[in-house]
Structure 1
Amino acid sequence: MLLSRVTLAIGLALAAPACATPVSDIADDYLAALLIRYPEQAQQSGLVTPAADRFFDASPAALTVWQRREDSWRGVLDRVDVDKLTGADRITYGFLRQDLDNSVRTRICRQELWPVEQMSGWAASYPDLAAAEPVGTPANRARALRRWATFPDYLQAEIINLKAGLAAGYSTPRHNVELVIAQIDGLLAGPVDKSPMYAPAATDPDPAFRAAWTALLTDKLNPAMRDYRDWLAANYLPKARTSFGVLA
């Protein structure tokens, strides 16, 4: 879902008409919101996001706000006379309608309540994000430190969602949870300066930044990842479903 929305953002940018229209105004608003809602995916795709100093807000409150905005955009699209659209507006309308409708249809899956994922979850994708983190200038270094200082909050939000998921009968298959635990073990193995999460400091020659990043990784990031891993092993894994079917 996240990757498709980044693809959509690129498509909207390419389909934008030379002059503003009501449909392009909706697209501009939606694109700007996507870049803020999904800053990691935007950055990894080479898109500029004003939210580069933070992570995806996984809190239930943020999800509620986002879904209300989706409903509002769909309401605006419902009032558009599609038969009168031509050229770029018609293409843009199609992008918007498909993405927003798909998002609403998948709400029933409650994916936010079982986000433990060995292919696209944070333990698999955030090492790449760390490796691609822009550094090399005072502004970039400060932004990187601000962003990653909030990573423990992101993990705590995931735990809150996972607890709510278990209470509501949603869980990731047990085998997938085991794979994610193994991924986190790999991130925590070895000295700090060999960690995949050390990448921003490894590519920046500034001694002060390296020291600050080492302290952040040692004092905040690694403990937060370990707490998340231990919570999965002790509290989530025993209750995770043993079958792979979505309806299990």
Structure 2
Amino acid sequence: MPISRISVGEAHEATHPNTLRAGLAEFISTLIFVFAGQGSGMAFAKLTANGAATPAGLVAASIAHAFGLFVAVAVGANISGGHVNPAVTFGAFVGGNISLLRGVVYWIAQLLGSAVACLLLKFSTGGLETSAFALSADVSVWNALVFEIVMTFGLVYTVYATAVDPKKGEIGIIAPIAIGFIVGANILAGGAFDGASMNPAVSFGPALVSWNWENHWIYWVGPLVGGGLAGLIYEIIFIGHHHEPAPADYQRISA
């Protein structure tokens, strides 16, 4: 059972060169993803007189995030596993695929990557606002919470099915494509309601730089619950007791 494989890790693991290299990879991948995703929204708003909340803006955000995440996961996969998301890291942890200490290093790197990306965007755009995620009119916090849980469940389930499951075979580039596609599709589904974060780091950077923390807890609780459920369900039901050794990239994560 995955619960028996959950590991805190040893103290030296947090400062091991492999862990630090993986953390740097997560920082860079998250910076790339947030800069492209958040920047696309800012560019669309500038070109359309703040029309980022229109249907066209939603489609543009979906495409930019799908492409950006595809690249961010692909470039980090051979070093850190290409999590680019604290919810993915948490899902890997509860499934026994990464230790707690290594996961904390990933979280710090992901949050820093998002914050630096937003600071760079604010500077390079001449001070334009990096808007924090917010709820649309008539959307309650509970509506948004369920959206984030379900969307992140789909994301982390996809990560497990295409990147973690030892039975997946050699599908190579399919994993980053599938992960990018599910995020793009979920943005089309949930973007008009709560912004469709699915990623605490993606929400953290804009909130920090704009200093707007209204309803910010939703973008942590929802993704962590959804990601954790996906990790547990996939491990228990589809990987189960006969757990085979993880592929090379995820062995690096749990090493």
The TM-score normalised by the length of structure 2 is 0.31
Larger radius of gyration: 1
Query: What is the TM-score of this pair, normalised by structure 1?
Result: 0.32
Of the two structures, which has the highest relative contact order with CA contacts closer than 8 Å and spacing of 6 or more? 2
